[in-house]
Amino acid sequence: MSKVLVVAEHDGAALHPGVARVVSCGLGIQPGGLDVAVMGQDCAAIARQAAGIAGVSRVLCLDRAENARPLAAAQAPQLAALAQQGYSHLLGPSTTFGKDLMPRAAALLGVPQVSDIMSVEGERRFKRPVYAGNAVLTVEAPAERIVVATARLASWQAAPEGGEGAVENVVLDVELPDHTKWLELKMPETERPDLQSASVVVSGGRALGSADNFSLLYDLADHLGAAVGASRAAVDAGYVSNEMQVGQTGKIIAPELYFAIGISGAIQHLTGIKDAGVIVAINKDPEAPIFEIADIGLVGDLFSIVPELKAALEDS
Amino acid sequence: MRKILVTLKRVVDYNVRVRVKPDGSGMAVEGLKMSINPFDEIALEEALRMRERGDAGEVVAVTIGGDESQQQLRTGLAMGADRALLAKCEGELQPLTVAGILLEVARREEPDIVIMGKQAIDDDCNQAGQMLAALWGRPQATFASEVQLDGGSARVTREVDAGLESIEVQLPAVITTDLRLNEPRYIKLPDIMKARRKPLEILSVDELGLAAAPSLQPLGYEPPEQRQKGVLVEDVAALVGRLRERGLVN
Ligand SMILES: Cc1cc2nc3c(=O)[nH]c(=O)nc-3n(C[C@H](O)[C@H](O)[C@H](O)COP(=O)(O)OP(=O)(O)OC[C@H]3O[C@@H](n4cnc5c(N)ncnc54)[C@H](O)[C@@H]3O)c2cc1C
Ligand SMILES: Nc1ncnc2c1ncn2[C@@H]1O[C@H](COP(=O)(O)O)[C@@H](O)[C@H]1O
């Protein structure tokens, strides 16, 4: 019977919404039990949140000063030690947190990693995207070895609340390296919803032309209660900051409604949005590849269309 | 002076659209344009800038792959690497195997910094750098968008989902690059000529005597689900109408 350990991502105050999605992926393996590991400092409240996810059997709380900030160098050895206590699968999210941490843990365990699980085909058999989403590969992890993997969040629904898992404190006798020091985290101030969990996202591309012009999209987004995203070209040009990038090397998202405004639709961008419910494209070039996948397209100049759209949405 | 090792992977050029072979056994890559993985080009550029600033002495480019990968190493030499090393082996390589081979190379070369791409754009694994750091027992600074060297340590700004995080790592360390770290230089014709005379060493991986790392077994490739092409609407009113029909806006 397989037994799954899910690594919880959190920011010290709250559980990351992706944890419930990774739990869904883990439950897809139909395990005999699914535990969540919370590594942090004073993380009892976060552990209780994790225990409230349906399907979670136990939450293991690794409370220690070195876990105040998520450093892979310190967390991977703890995770590897914990995973060896009877788990068949170790799962994390395909976020920058999980991408940093999980391969380090996998290498310590001496096993390969399955990145970005889209679907579970069997206890050790998974589908994952390769070549910027141009293909889906089915892989089988080696038998009799622990399976280490990350779950592609956009492929999984969050497991519902209503769980009643037990919370246990765990003390591991693992020596941690001191060669890595956390210095700071700069987060841009925004009141807008989080890009990865928002149900509506308004994204802009190079066509916006300047940081100032992005205010057109902020206005529209605020009216819709939407998050704002961007193409890499817009980020590179300095119109917006990096955490807004959507795509192969940015965030993979699955909102119900996605607006691609002045974005051409390069494959690296499309791979970040192909699970969106409805894609709306606004582009002045009728041949732009974005129209090949958009559900609703409007050809024209964004600088007149976007204000018009906002006005039209206002009179209702 | 610091010695820097840079890894270069040979991949299908990012501008080329790769398709699944009709029988699903792999990707149809024969005859396609091959290049250095874009993130690895950024890694090399960063190393060259370190050397040009006087922060580093030698820059060594390493590739693991078949003879054809010499092409990418020659490109790396033309960009400015001092010498190149091909760890020769055939077949599909997974990140754990790559990390194991790189560990051997790191033991021989004793670099102060290994700069790698965060992700190879073919397998999209995003693992090899972290795995090397683990096997080597050294720090990792992944998804770097800025690197500052100071004595025996590096201060690295990392692109994380929440924003920009800074960490300090003691050297030797593994750094993996994000796209905004720098913009790689163009190669000039005379540099290509010069590169022909730079040393390119070939090392047989079999001779390293590595135990085979456990690996994932590929069972088959399939094309992704295609989204249906939708409709073009005439104007904003029609767009809003469609959105309201579907209950997506008020
Ligand atoms: C390794 C690698 C990884 C990458 N990862 C990503 C990624 O994660 N995300 C990503 O987005 N990109 C990524 N890219 C870059 C990608 O290849 C494209 O270069 C990028 O997405 C283009 O951004 P864009 O559509 O904003 O710009 P462009 O391609 O320049 O498109 C601008 C569009 O705006 C339209 N336009 C211009 N003016 C107007 C107007 N007034 N009104 C309406 N429309 C107008 C034009 O017709 C055009 O279609 C990556 C590239 C590489 C090599
Ligand atoms: N065969 C290889 N030769 C040299 N470097 C490689 C090879 N495979 C992977 N790498 C390096 O590891 C990084 C991450 O690869 P991956 O984990 O496969 O996404 C790449 O950007 C390269 O820098």
Give me the residue from B145, B222, B223 closest to A242, CB to CB.
B145
Task: Give contacts of B158 with chain A, Cβ < 8 Å.
Answer: 96
Task: Give contacts of B138 with chain A, Cβ < 8 Å.
Answer: 179
Q: Which residue of A has its CA nearest to B17?
A: A134
* pLDDT, tens digit, 9 for 90 and up, residues B80-106: 999 999 999 988 899 999 999 999 999
Q: Which residue of B has its CA nearest to A117?
A: B125
Residue B153 maps to a domain: yes
The pairing of beta strand B58-65 with beta strand B140-150: unpaired
Q: Which residue of B has its CA nearest to A95?
A: B161
Count Cβ atoms within 10 A of the Cβ of residue B181 and give its class: 0-12 exposed, 13-18 middle, 19 or more buried.
buried
Q: CA-to-CA distance for B212 and B96, rounded, in angstroms?
A: 10
* pLDDT, tens digit, 9 for 90 and up, residues A204-229: 999 999 999 999 999 999 999 999 99
At A189 the pLDDT is: 82
Binding-face residues of B in 211-230 toward A, CB within 8 A: 213-225, 227-230
Give, in order, the Cα–Cα distances in Å from B7 to each of A105, B184, B224.
22, 15, 30
At A314 the pLDDT is: 86
Residue B84 maps to a domain: yes
Give, in order, the Cα–Cα distances in Å from A218 to each of A93, A201, B35, B244.
29, 11, 38, 21
Give me the residue from A107, A140, A186 closest to B164, CB to CB.
A186
Residue B249 maps to a domain: no
- Residues near B64 by Cβ (< 8 Å), separated by ≥ 6? B7, B9, B86, B87, B89, B93, B98, B101, B102, B205
* pLDDT, tens digit, 9 for 90 and up, residues A231-269: 999 999 999 998 999 998 889 999 999 999 999 999 999
Domain boundaries, chain A: 3-169, 200-315
Distance A60 CA to ligand 2 centre (A): 34
Per the structure, the complete domain to which residue B86 belongs is given by 3-216
Quote the pTM value. 0.95
Q: What is the fold of A200-315?
A: Rossmann fold (3.40.50)
Supply the DSSP symbol for B49. Answer: H
What the block records as the tokens of B237 is 């009113």
The count of other CB atoms within 10 Å of the CB of residue B178 is 24
Give me the residue from B127, B237, B244 closest to A115, CB to CB.
B127
- A75 SS3 class: helix
Reported as type and span, the H/E element at residue A31 is none
* pLDDT, tens digit, 9 for 90 and up, residues A300-310: 999 999 999 99
Reported as type and span, the H/E element at residue A307 is helix A302-314
At A316 the pLDDT is: 60
Please report, for the domain that includes residue B17, its CATH number.
3.40.50.620
Ligand closest to B7 (CA) is: 2
Reported as type and span, the H/E element at residue A167 is strand A166-169
CB–CB of A163/A54 below 8 Å? Answer: yes
- CA dihedral for A61, A62, A67, A72, sign (positive or negative): negative
Q: What CATH number belongs to A3-169?
A: 3.40.50.620
- Average pLDDT score, chain A: 96
Mutate to test the pocket of ligand 1, among A263, A270, A306 (most ligand atoms within 8 A of CB): A263
Q: How many domains does chain B have?
A: 1
Task: Give contacts of B152 with chain A, Cβ < 8 Å.
Answer: none
User: Is the CB of B239 less than 8 angstroms away from the CB of A137?
Assistant: no
- B66 SS3 class: coil
Task: Give contacts of A130 with chain B, Cβ < 8 Å.
Answer: 27, 122-124, 221
Residue B167 maps to a domain: yes
A·B CB contacts under 8 A: 255
Q: CA-to-CA distance for A245 and A227, rounded, in angstroms?
A: 12
- pLDDT of A54 > 70? The answer is yes
At B206 the pLDDT is: 82
Q: CA-to-CA distance for A78 and A94, rounded, in angstroms?
A: 19
Atom of ligand 1 nearest to the CA of A290: 49
CB–CB of A204/A219 below 8 Å? Answer: no
What the block records as the tokens of B113 is 């910094």
Residue B240 maps to a domain: no
Atom of ligand 1 nearest to the CA of A230: 11
Strands (DSSP E) contained in A231-305 are 257-261, 278-283, 296-299
User: Does the Cβ of B40 fall within 6 Å of ligand 2?
Assistant: yes
Report the DSSP beta bridge partners of residue B157.
Answer: B146, B166
Please, how many CA atoms are within 13 Å of residue B89, restricted to the half-sphere of its CB?
A: 20
> Of all protein residues, whose CA lies closest to atom 21 belonging to ligand 2?
B117
CB–CB of A230/A244 below 8 Å? Answer: yes
Of the candidates A232, A229, A236, A228, the one whose C-alpha atom is nearest the C-alpha of residue A268 is A232
- Residues near A75 by Cβ (< 8 Å), separated by ≥ 6? A39, A67, A101, A105
* pLDDT, tens digit, 9 for 90 and up, residues A93-112: 999 999 999 999 999 999 99
Count Cβ atoms within 10 A of the Cβ of residue A133 and give its class: 0-12 exposed, 13-18 middle, 19 or more buried.
buried
- Say yes or no: B169 contacts chain A, CB-CB below 8 A: yes
At A143 the pLDDT is: 95
Q: CA-to-CA distance for B174 and B171, rounded, in angstroms?
A: 8
The count of other CB atoms within 10 Å of the CB of residue A315 is 6
User: Are domains A3-169 and A200-315 of this chain identical in fold?
Assistant: yes
Q: CA-to-CA distance for B15 and A173, rounded, in angstroms?
A: 49
* pLDDT, tens digit, 9 for 90 and up, residues A266-296: 999 999 999 999 999 999 999 999 999 999 9
Low-confidence ranges of chain B (pLDDT < 70): none
Q: What ipTM was estimated for this complex? A: 0.95
